[in-house]
Every structure is written in C-alpha cells, then in structure tokens.
Structure 1
Amino acid sequence: MTDPSPSQHQTRSRRAMAVGLAIFATVTLAYGAGELSHLLSFSLSEAGAPDFFREPINLGLALLGFLIWQGLSQTSKSPPLWGSPAMGLGWGWVVGCALPGFALLGLMLLQAGRFEARDFSVAALIIPVPFILIHALSEEVIIRGIAQRAGTAAFGPWLGIGGAALAFCVLQTLQGYQSMWHIANSALFGAALGFLALSRGGILAAVGGHAGWTWLETSWIGDAMTFQKDGSFLAGTGPDSYGSPVFTAVLLVILALMGVRWALQANKEKQ
C-alpha cells in the first residue's frame, strides 16, 4: 500500500480548508442573520410594527446569504437535496416531536420530573407554528445547504453530517445553550437532523424536525403543560429535556438506528 502523493495531500488539505470555511460561514451567517433581524425588528416594533416581523426578516437574510454562497461555490448539486415538502415537513415534524417526547417520558418514568396540565387554548399552540417553521427554515437552509453540502462534496455524507452537526452545536452555544448537556445534545441533535436531510424528505425533513422539536419544547411545554424537574443529575438544566442526559441517551440510540439504516440502504444502492 503506497503513501498518498504530495498532490493528494494538497487536495485533501484544500478540501479540509473548504469545509472549515463552509462551517465558519454557516455559523457566521446564521448567527449574524439572527442578531441583525433582532435589531431590525426591534427598530420596526419601536415604530409600531408587530414583534413577529423578526422571523420573516431572519428568513430573508438567511436566504440571501445562502444564495450568495451557492453562487460562489460548487456545491449546489451536492446532497442533501430539498426533498418533498409534504413528506419532508410531515415526517420531520413527527421525529422532531418524538425525540424530546421520549426524553420527557423517560424523565417522568425515572421520577426526575413530572407533568402538570395547564388551561390553554388550541390557538395558543397553532399560532406559533408558521413562525417556528420560518425560524427552522432560516437556520436549516444555511446549515444543510452550506455546511452539510460542503462536507459531503469534499469527504462524503458522514463528514457532511459531522460538519453540519458541529455548525449546529456552535450556533446553539452562541445562542445561549452552554451547559455540558446542552452542548452534547446540540451536536447529537444536529447529527440526527443531518440524517433526516439525507432521507427522501431532504432538507425540508431537517426543517420539520427542527420545528417540531422547537414547538414541543417551547410552545407545548409552557402553554399546555409545565414540566417540573426535581433538580437531580438526570434532570439536567433548563425547563425541558434539552439540557438533560436522558435526552442524550435517546439521541444516541436514535442516531445508532439512523446510522445503521442509512448505511444498509447506501450499501444496497451500491449493489
């Protein structure tokens, strides 16, 4: 077995630098768009505009950054593709709700927390959905369309998933999720969204998964239910499952299943 030639080393180095640049661009664009949309929406709200203007502004900035990157790069045809809107958003939403749902049920069974019902209106759960979807699309179009596509084009789908998971983890950390379990779960959940994006649902499945997770952990818990933790190690930090090691365990199991399924499918397609 011969060692790689100097030209091969240079090619790999250039690819690695391109992926690193893509991850940096992903985090910078996603975080910068969020901060800029916050400032713009605050100015508009001071002038009398509704507060929910932030999410459409965020989406517009994210799409602009994504389109500029795609125009400058060679990865526009690399996986993950966009996928089917109905299947992608629907399947992704189910998975996005199920993962923290299993973790919350696990916390309850382990007696690390309990649910308390609240009086709520159905409208309080439905009205946030379009804005949650817009928020998820704003982040996922950049994470999957830049970081994951760049990693896949350079080193294959596994590195694409890993690079996108890293970008998602850094972005979540910058947004304030900074405990040990938040950081671990950000990386693992980012990887799960990466596998969803490689399914037939495409990038839109990752959008649905991101939105379903956000909806369950923010709108449903708080409006329809509260989840009271006991302060133990298993409970972790924060009011939901995101800062808990139980969510970490759920994500590890699901990622293992996703990885095996995807590897078997990829091997079958090669044959």
Structure 2
Amino acid sequence: MDHKSLPNSDELVSTLKRTNLPTIVIEGKDDVFIYRWIKQQLSTSPVSILTCGGRNTLFKIYDRRSEFSDKNVVFVADQDSYIFEGVNQDRNDIIFTSGYCIENDIYSGSGIRSFLDTEDCNGYELLKNIVCAWFAFEVETYLDKKQNGLDAPLQVGTHINRICPPGHSSICPTYSHEINYTNPKPEIFTMILENYGIKLRGKQLFQMLSRFMSKKDRFSQFSDKNLIEIALKQGGNPYINLLAESIDSKLNF
C-alpha cells in the first residue's frame, strides 16, 4: 500500500468509533500476519486488527481513546527505543513487546537459532558482534542526543548488508564513514551483545540468520521472512504466549 493512501489518525479514530468488534490496534501492515496468528490463540472471537501505518499514528490514536471509550480496543506496539529509556507513563496502558520489537519476541522464544549449520556458527558469531557494535553505537548516539534535549529518532533501520556486506569481517568502511562510526562505550556494547535476542532489532536478527541459511550450497534456503514464520509457528513461545495473554486479558476486561 502506498503511504499516501494510508488513513490518517482522524480516519482511524472514526473507524474505531463505528466498530462493533473487539479491535487490536497495531503499528504496521508488515506485522499483520503475526497478529493474525496470535489472534488464533485468543479466547475472544471475532476480533478485528487495525493497522495504523506507524508508531506515531498509533500513539496519536491512543491519546484520543476517550473518543471511543465505549469500544473494546487494545493497543499493541513494539518497545523500540523504550527498551533503553523506559516506557512513557502516559502510555503505560499500551501492551508492549518484551523485546525491541515483535520479531525479537518471536526470535528469543523460539529455537530458530539452532537451525544454523555447525560450520556457519563462527561466521554468525562474528557477524553478530559487528552488528551489535553498530547497534550499540546508534543507541549511544540516540541517548546522548536525548540527554542534550534533541528529539531525534533511533536510526537502526539499516539492512545488515550495508552494515557488513557478505564476505566482510568488519563494518563496511563506506557505511562507517557515512555515519561517522566510532566504537561504542564498552558497557553499552556489552549490554546489547549479552541480551542481543531481546535488544538488537529483531529484523536484523533474522537477516543475520538468513545470510547463512540462504546460501546456494545449502540443502534448503530460507529468507528472513521464511525464518520469522517458522519461528512464530513453532509454538510454545513464552514471549508470544505472554503477548497473547495480555491482549486476551484486556479484551475481556
């Protein structure tokens, strides 16, 4: 869907005012298939899923929830930078993921890491260290700006192929120069590395796995989206179960 055609917050609030169905409000359309699967775990049925086209729009709608207070509406969002700075108190009625984003919850509560072939484990660990160092640099930059009163977003949407192209054993020099990369503070790097499944952005987690699991000489190849779906549907995921239980509890409040 073209972003220009996405409904704005006024239109979405109007939709919520008119609905008669319990509704889960989520950030973006990319996560719809995940929440459709989670919806199957709920005791409430039927349930509608409403996408906002972004985190800021979801917050705008949440701030106007008094306009549809008679409706059964639950808000679910990724923690994103909140995992490093804490959730704003005026948004504590939103259900947040346990990890940085929903993909973190899927990854951390699954056994998908074990799909790696043994001969790829060293390469994966090296790549993980490089990506975690870059991520720690971006987190440190973000927190420094916040401390100095600058309202700038956490810039961590880069694909791993730009950060560390295939065949490289360090951060890409060109990309490093573009972002003025410097080694992050050891305490921030260690915090990210030791909790990478929860704190390193989930999309990069699956991109890293896919680099090794999509090689042409493998018996089978998996894209990052393939791996997300497999990890999600393995079942028994404590983070996804917690998310489903939290949604169910609010819908049945």
TM-score using structure 2 length: 0.33
Higher relative contact order (CA 8 A, sep 6+): 1
TM-score using structure 1 length: 0.32
Q: Indicate the structure with greater helix content.
A: 1
